[in-house]
Structure formats: C-alpha cells, structure tokens
Structure 1
C-alpha cells in the first residue's frame, strides 16, 4: 500500500521587516480579543498600527528574542504567502536567588493564529519552532501567561503539557 504524505499548507520562519504590514491583522486580532474581555486592562489601540515598525524591528534584531511567523504555502492556483500566525518569544536569564540557581528560560509573550487557520496545527507548529529556538539558545524551561478569561488557550496549552506554576491575582484600587 502506498502511503500518501500530507503536503504542507504552511511554513514557519523568522519574521523580517518586510512582514510588517502582513502582521497587522494578526496583532489586531490578538489585541481585539483581549480588549473584548478586559477593556480596562487592554485599552483600544490605533487601528492603523497596533505595533510600530520600530517595535517590530527591535523584536526581529534583538539576540534574545525571536519573532516567528507562520506563512501559508503557495497553491497551484497561486494563492499563498499570507501570514496566518505569529509567535513572539523572549529568552530571560533569572539571577540566582536564596533558593535557586541562575536559570535561563524562555517566555512566549504572544501567540496568535488567524481565525480562518485555526485547528490546522499552526499554533502547535509555532510552539514547536519557538521551543527549538529557545533550546538552541540555552533555555531549560518555557513559560507563558494566559489570562483567566482565555479558556481556549488554557485548554490548548494544557493539552501540550503546560501546567499552572502560580496564580497571579489583581485587585483594582
């Protein structure tokens, strides 16, 4: 029996400044989701530039950060090249404390997949690529924060083996 291999529908790569405009809809989607649940903590952002080009350049060129994008593969019909997801990862070195040694870890600061591309393995692929990059840079653990209202993300991360580490609480003053 011949086994058919699945043709990849997207690739993961490091972002470039040429991706700036294509990232806009993904940042808007991410910000809009958070603003919808907690508009006080996430006030509105300008519609034309959710992240400045200087901010994106800093993320791309900083040695202890990686901005990865998922890009749709071209099809026979010529479609493709659209960004369908992104992940922003930061390496962090924690100084020693009274009860723990120096640690190098990485934190996923942002991860978003276009609504039309969900449940196709894009988020998992972005996480895997983020983890690979972090390991190559000396990380021994990965962290991320998920807001309590984001049940879908919590279930997704738990399905990949993430476990709660602490509970951060807030009280408005």
Structure 2
C-alpha cells in the first residue's frame, strides 16, 4: 500500500487494557468531533475526553466485546471496537456476527495501514468466537472509512433512509 510503513515499523496491535483508556478516550473524542462537525443534530459536541471513559471501559471489561489498539512504545495510535451479536429475530436466520462499533486512528498515523491491521485483528477475534460474518455501519460523510471498508472487501448491504432534520447527510 502506498505510504505504508514497513512491517518492522508497524505499531503492535493488541487488546486494550484499562491502562489504554485515556488514549482511547482522546482518540474517540477526535472521531466524535468529526461526526459532530458533519452532523451536529445527531452527534454530541466536543467535551472533555474522559466524558466517555465508562463507555469505552465497558468494552474492555466485556466477555462479548473488546477494543484493539495499535500502539508503539510510547503511544496508542489507533483503536477498533468489536463485539459479538446474536441474531435471533423470528424473521431472520439465526446468526452470530461480529460488529465493528468504532474505529479511530490518530491523524498523524492515518493511511499507514493501522486501520487495516486493526480491522484484521477485530475480524480474527470475532471469527475465533464463532462469528459467521462481520458487519459495521458507516455514515455517508465518512469517505475515508468508506474507502477503507471497500478496500477490505466490505460491501453495502443496507441503505438507511431518513427524513426531517436528521436526514441531511
């Protein structure tokens, strides 16, 4: 991939621990700021990064979800949240799938392969726990994420439509 760092320079991808929460909160706040800028009617405005600490901590403590981080010797440079979902609605076939809840990469390390590495770790984690597929949602304004998911082989299966004040993006 053009611009990618050599493998020996690639930050390590591992499951997050409570020690990583401050960095995950900061990266998550940056992702939220992008979403708020695009759709302020839906996404909360910026706040201190620790506002969402309990949100991220739940994934780390869960038996059915986790957060992967890409980290070098000093810093967490990206994260991806993955969880297991059991589809059991009477109109649908029963299915266990992995759901990517959020992914964020430090701006200084975007387009270097970290998103791809985090996605692969999340996919492997979910598949090892019996997930038959991986699903995610992405907002139409997030062209960088849409491009990454397309490169990884993800295809649009559902288009969500809306009307009113929240339908403009």
Report the TM-score, using the length of structure 1 for normalisation.
0.86
Asked if 1:39 corresponds to 2:31, the answer is no
Residue 65 of structure 1 contacts residue 88 of structure 1 at CA under 8 Å; is this kept in 2? yes
Residue 25 of structure 2 contacts residue 56 of structure 2 at CA under 8 Å; is this kept in 1? no
For the pair shown, which has the larger CA radius of gyration, 1 or 2? 1
Residue 96 of structure 1 contacts residue 103 of structure 1 at CA under 8 Å; is this kept in 2? no
Offset, 1:96: 4.8
Q: How many residues in Structure 1 have an aligned counterpart in Structure 2? A: 160
* Pairing 1:59-74 to 2, within 5 Å after superposition: 59-72=59-72
Offset, 1:152: 1.6
Local SS of the residue matching 2:80? strand
CA distance in 2, matches of 1:6, 1:107: 27
* Residue 3 (structure 2) aligns with: none
User: Structure 1, residues 66-108: CA drift from partner, whole Å, max 9, x if none?
Assistant: 1111101xxxxxxx3200000011100000534x421000110
Local SS of the residue matching 1:89? strand
Q: Which runs of 4+ in 1 moved over 6 A?
A: none
In the alignment, which of 80, 84, 88 is matched to residue 81 of structure 2? 88
CA distance in 1, matches of 2:117, 2:41: 32
What are the ranges of 5 or more consecutive residues in structure 2 without an aligned counterpart? Answer: 1-5
Which has more helix, going by share of residues?
A: 2
Offset, 1:38: 0.4
Offset, 1:55: 2.6
* Pairing 1:1-173 to 2, within 5 Å after superposition: 6-52=7-53, 54-72=54-72, 80-98=73-91, 100-172=92-164
Residue 26 of structure 2 contacts residue 49 of structure 2 at CA under 8 Å; is this kept in 1? no
